[in-house]
């Protein structure tokens, strides 16, 4: 009896399947007597595939950065079927359409079984073939609404699937499906999914990852347990030889954390952000060409990163680098920070305003040369200087706290002496200097009153972008034009400094001998080819700069901390300069650099400077040349080093009066120079001279036998 009932039930089921299949078959051919719908060609679909990432190309057409530009989905390049793992293909076919190569777009057996399952909810299963799913992916009208597809949509989907099968090959259908289907969240296509979930390329996927992806196709946003159940079931049905727990470990590792599609190349994030943000192109299929040199960019990134990481013990955590072509202004390397190891990897250090330090000194002297206020051989006294300013007295000091006496302007600039720079700014005027800096492209400057004389030492905040272009202007003989990241647009050039003055500054910044007083003859600033370079360190060692140029390139390096914390014992020569010289050497690995020809308005003469026992050749702007340089009237070549004028000395009440001494220091210390304190001779400078301080105001004079007073300072002693 039971056997008869079972046979009767099976007969009814078979009849139902045949009936349903017949109904769908007839409906598909007779539906409104319409012909098969028109479908796109495979090549058309492939060509229309858009990455969600824009590609930044360097000057040679090589990709140097990938950046997401489309928020509608995460898509990468179209992957040919031959480059997709066979393990994944097998899993997809086994889980989604195991009769894929035997049907003509519609699996009528599965379709009938699905219809029967409508009467048995516990047995419900999908019946859409891969071809039918592809039809829905390519036609929004075939995608289900809030629930399931309508009968009308299903009929259209069947007819579309049959049409694809007639015009596309099976390989094309499977390839398109794997590139268009969503696997997880917004990960569309196997390329984005493989890289986002497993950090792999599609050809490297194994059996475990194949069954996981197949489980995700059915429900891309399913929970971990649901995906795990489906993946295990598929692995068992495929009889894969997988170790116990292998699938579970892979599922939990890939789905328990946010997915991340790591770019294959990311050399220029800040340039990409800037150019794609400015681009008026629409859609994700953007390819923007820029001026960067990919090889130089990569070298500069690595050189900067290596040096900054090696200086962590000196509390240096960040750095930036900019390399430009002198003639065109095209940016060849743009490194905003050292990347993931930076303290703030999204900060663009090239556009961040930081205190300039000594890097502004060349422009002070350039303006003084142009205005014919000084020449490179003019003597400037490097000695203690007190400048009254609102709120007190400004007293500049040199980096090494040593004063060098009378020096030429050439030595003062090349060796970066502070007092001569401040004195030169006083000649030029703070307001004219600020106006000239604006012409050089420095933006965001405050009023001249805000800075005062400290502007000569770089109290203004500047960006590496503007600073490098200002030095490039010196390299170009005083002609300024904007920097460029693309090849588009017309170059706008304007003269902001005389060619003669620009040449003099460049000549001084390339003078190794004149630089040696501070930096020694051999340092990272001394290249084997012609370069002009300047370093700078801001207050408390918070910023460290090195900017310089050859005949073809200008390179600027900043080192420090984005947080503003000071570094420890880091100067321009030890902080930024090593990276500068590495980059310069790379640029000139196959070519040399030569000093520019002097402009016609310059003359070269041999001059004597008896005050410092020097005779040398030097350049002059025509009309300012001389053959003999002597100190100006009242200029103290011999000087009092200590105390400085205006010094206040406080007596210590806890120390006996006869034990408190004050020592005087002069330069040079010779037997023919004598101290006179309040009109009384107290000894020669050749011997260390001490004095028991007495309360009150005093005048100390430095006298030369037979010649009278050489220098004089006033100081005060206070106490109980």
Rounded distance, CA 136 to CA 495, Å?
63
**Residue 709 and residue 561 in one domain:** no
Q: How do residues 420-459 score in pLDDT, each as one tens digit? A: 999 999 999 999 999 999 999 999 999 999 998 899 999 9
Domain boundary among 196, 222, 255: 255
Q: What is the DSSP string of 446-465?
A: --HHHHGGGGGGT-SEE-HH
In the chain, pLDDT over 70 holds for what percent of residues? 86
Mean pLDDT over 695-699 rounds to 91
Same domain, 647 and 520: no
- Does the residue 415 lie in any domain? yes
pLDDT on residue 469 = 98
Q: How far apart (Å, rounded) are the C-alpha atoms in residues 409 and 421?
A: 9
Q: What is the pLDDT of residue 8?
A: 58
- Selection from 392, 391, 428 nearest residue 409 by Cα: 428
CATH, residue 243: 1.10.3810.10
The number of beta carbons lying within 10 Å of the beta carbon of residue 402 is 13
Q: What is the dihedral sign for C-alpha 303, 305, 306, 309?
A: positive
pTM: 0.78
Single residue among 255, 280, 300 that ends a domain in this structure: 255
146 pLDDT band, cuts 50/70/90, is: low
Confidence of residue 52 (pLDDT cuts 50, 70, 90): confident
Kindly tell me the burial class for residue 645, based on how many C-beta atoms sit within 10 Å of its own C-beta (0-12, 13-18, 19 or more).
middle
Residue 652 and residue 582 share a domain: no
Does one domain contain both 522 and 382?
Answer: yes
Distance in angstroms (rounded) separating the CA atoms of residues 377 and 472: 25
* Dist. CA 518–CA 416, nearest whole Å: 7
Helix axis angle, 170-180 relative to 86-96, nearest 10°?
90
Mean pLDDT lowest among 309-318, 584-593, 665-674? 665-674
- In this structure, is residue 29 part of a structural domain? no
Domain count, the chain: 3
Flag whether pLDDT at 32 surpasses 70.
Answer: no
- The owner of tokens 């340039």 is 271
CATH of the domain at 565: 3.40.710.10
**Does residue 237 belong to any structural domain of this protein?**
yes
Residue 26 maps to a domain: no
> Residue 646 has which token pair?
């205006």
Mean pLDDT to the nearest integer, 321-345: 94
Query: Which residues constitute the domain of residue 477?
Result: 332-588
| End residue of a domain, out of 522, 555, 588 | 588
578 and 645 assigned to the same domain: no
User: Which SS3 state, helix, strand or coil, does residue 54 take?
Assistant: strand
Pair (504, 389) in one structural domain? yes
Q: For residues 580 and 646, state if they share a domain.
A: no
CA nearest neighbour of 380 among 400, 360, 357, 396: 396
662 & 583 share domain: no
Task: Assess whether 432 and 531 both reside in one domain.
Answer: yes
Q: Is 3 part of a structural domain of the chain?
A: no
Answer yes or no: is 77 within a domain. yes
Specify whether the CB–CB gap between 434 and 409 falls below 8 A. no
Helix axes 151-167, 130-138, angle to 10 degrees: 100
pLDDT digits (tens, 9 = 90+) for 347-398: 999 999 999 999 999 999 999 999 999 999 999 988 777 776 666 667 777 7
Instruction: Judge if 439 and 576 occupy the same domain.
Output: yes
How sure is the predictor about 63, in pLDDT bands with cuts at 50, 70 and 90? Answer: very high
**pLDDT above 60: residue 122:** no
Residue 400 CA, chain-centre distance (Å), reads 32
């Amino acid at each position: 009896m039971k056997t008869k009932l079972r046979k009767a039930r099976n007969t009814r089921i078979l009849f139902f399947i045949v009936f349903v299949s017949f109904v769908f078959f007839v409906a598909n051919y007779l539906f409104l007597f319409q012909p098969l719908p028109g479908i796109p060609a495979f090549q058309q679909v492939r060509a229309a595939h858009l990455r969600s990432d824009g590609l930044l190309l360097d000057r040679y057409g090589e990709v140097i950065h990938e950046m997401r530009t489309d928020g509608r989905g995460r898509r990468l390049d179209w992957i040919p079927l031959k480059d997709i793992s066979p393990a994944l293909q097998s899993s997809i076919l086994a889980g989604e359409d195991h009769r894929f190569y035997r049907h003509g777009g519609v699996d009528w057996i599965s379709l009938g079984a699905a219809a029967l399952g409508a009467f048995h909810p516990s047995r419900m299963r999908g019946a859409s073939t891969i071809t039918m799913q592809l039809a829905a992916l390519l036609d929004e009208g075939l995608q289900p609404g809030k629930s399931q597809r309508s009968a009308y949509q299903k009929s259209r989907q069947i007819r579309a699937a049959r049409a694809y099968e007639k015009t596309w090959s099976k390989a094309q259908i499977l390839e398109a499906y794997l590139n268009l289907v969503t696997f997880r969240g917004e990960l569309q296509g196997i390329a984005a999914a493989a890289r986002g979930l497993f950090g792999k390329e599609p050809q490297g996927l194994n059996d475990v990852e194949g069954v996981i992806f197949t489980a995700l196709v059915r429900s891309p946003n399913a929970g971990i347990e649901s995906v795990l159940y489906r993946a295990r079931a598929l692995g068992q049905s495929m009889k894969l030889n997988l170790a116990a727990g292998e699938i579970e470990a892979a599922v939990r590792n890939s789905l328990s954390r946010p997915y991340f599609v790591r770019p294959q190349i990311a050399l220029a994030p800040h340039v990409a952000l800037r150019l794609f943000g400015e681009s008026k192109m629409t859609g994700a299929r953007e390819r923007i060409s820029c001026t960067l040199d990919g090889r130089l960019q990569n070298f500069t990134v690595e050189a900067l990163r290596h040096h900054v990481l090696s200086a962590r013990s000196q509390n240096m955590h960040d750095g930036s680098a900019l390399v430009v072509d002198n003639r065109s202004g095209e940016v060849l390397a743009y490194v905003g920070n050292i990347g993931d190891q930076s303290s703030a990897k999204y900060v663009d250090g090239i556009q961040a305003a930081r205190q300039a330090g000594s890097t502004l000194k060349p422009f002070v002297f350039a303006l003084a040369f142009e205005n014919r206020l000084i020449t490179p051989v003019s003597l400037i006294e490097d000695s203690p200087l007190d400048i009254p300013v609102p709120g007190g007295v400004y007293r500049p000091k040199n980096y090494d706290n040593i004063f060098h006496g009378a020096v030429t302007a050439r030595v003062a600039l090349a060796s970066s002496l502070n007092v001569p720079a401040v004195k030169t700014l006083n000649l030029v005027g703070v307001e004219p200097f600020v106006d000239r800096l604006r012409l050089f492209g420095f933006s965001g400057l405050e009023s001249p009153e805000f800075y005062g004389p400290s502007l000569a030492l770089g109290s203004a905040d500047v960006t590496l972008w503007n600073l490098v272009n200002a030095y490039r202007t010196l390299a170009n003989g005083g002609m300024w034009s904007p920097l460029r990241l693309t090849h588009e647009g017309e170059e706008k050039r304007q003269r902001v400094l005389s060619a003669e003055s620009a040449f003099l500054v460049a000549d001084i910044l390339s003078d190794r001998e004149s630089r040696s007083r501070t930096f020694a003859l051999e340092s990272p600033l001394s290249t084997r080819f012609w370069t002009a370079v300047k370093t700078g360190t801001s207050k408390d060692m918070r910023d460290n700069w090195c900017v310089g140029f050859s005949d073809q390139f200008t390179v600027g390096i900043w080192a420090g901390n984005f947080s503003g914390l000071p570094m420890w014992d880091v100067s321009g020569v030890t902080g930024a300069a090593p990276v500068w010289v590495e980059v310069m050497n790379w640029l000139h690995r196959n070519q040399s650099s030569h000093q520019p020809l002097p402009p016609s308005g310059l003359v070269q003469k041999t001059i004597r400077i008896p005050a410092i026992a020097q005779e040398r050749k030097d350049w002059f702007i025509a009309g300012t040349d001389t053959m003999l340089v002597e100190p100006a009237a009242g200029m103290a070549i011999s000087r009092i080093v200590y105390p400085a004028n205006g010094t206040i000395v406080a007596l210590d009440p806890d120390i006996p009066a006869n034990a408190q001494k004050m020592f005087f220091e002069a330069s040079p210390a010779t037997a023919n120079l004598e101290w006179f304190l309040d009109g009384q001779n107290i000894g020669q400078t050749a011997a260390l001279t001490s004095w028991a301080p007495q309360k009150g105001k005093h005048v100390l004079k430095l006298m030369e036998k037979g010649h009278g007073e050489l220098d004089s300072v006033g100081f005060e002693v206070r106490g109980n």
